[in-house]
Each structure stands twice: as structure tokens, then as C-alpha cells.
Structure 1
Amino acid sequence: MSRAERKNMIEFIEKVKGIAREQLMYMTDAEIEHIYNQTYYHYEEIAE
């Protein structure tokens, strides 16, 4: 994952899920991607 992708994922998770950036910064790329995918899927379901 590129830095830009990770940054965008973290910003999305912060806004939608309310997890502090400090917590997210110490997570692995896989953990960030997992949280992002779950959050985005849920957010997409609500938007429809």
C-alpha cells in the first residue's frame, strides 16, 4: 500500500468511525485495510 493510500484510509476511518489517529498510526497496513474495508462497506450500505 502506498503512503497516500494509507493516509486516505486513515482519514476516512477517523471521520466515519471516530478512531483516533494515534491508534491508527501504530497499526499494520493489513489492520488498516481491514478496518477501512469494514467501515467503507457499512458506510456504502447506509448511503444506498
Structure 2
Amino acid sequence: MYKILAQINKVILPSFTKQRLDLAKATKWQMAIIGYKYYVTTRALSKK
């Protein structure tokens, strides 16, 4: 389930790495998206 969700997130949600976002200057919603993507990605990688 998490692998599919991670693929959907990759298409829909913005990539802050490509935008060279500084984490110290990120807004709350940007930090929320980063945290959500991190959570889903780690779950997708740990579940085999």
C-alpha cells in the first residue's frame, strides 16, 4: 500500500529538492509535506 502511495505522492506533491528549499526557511505547510513524504517513503522502503 505504501509503495503505491509513494508513487502517487511523487507525481502529485511538489519536490522541494528540485526547488532547492532551505529547511530553515520552510513554511509550516512545506514542513508538513516533507514530513508526510518522509513517513510514506520510509514505510514503503521498510515493507517488503
Structure-2-length-normalised TM-score: 0.48
User: Of Structure 1 and Structure 2, which has the larger fraction of its residues in helix?
Assistant: 1
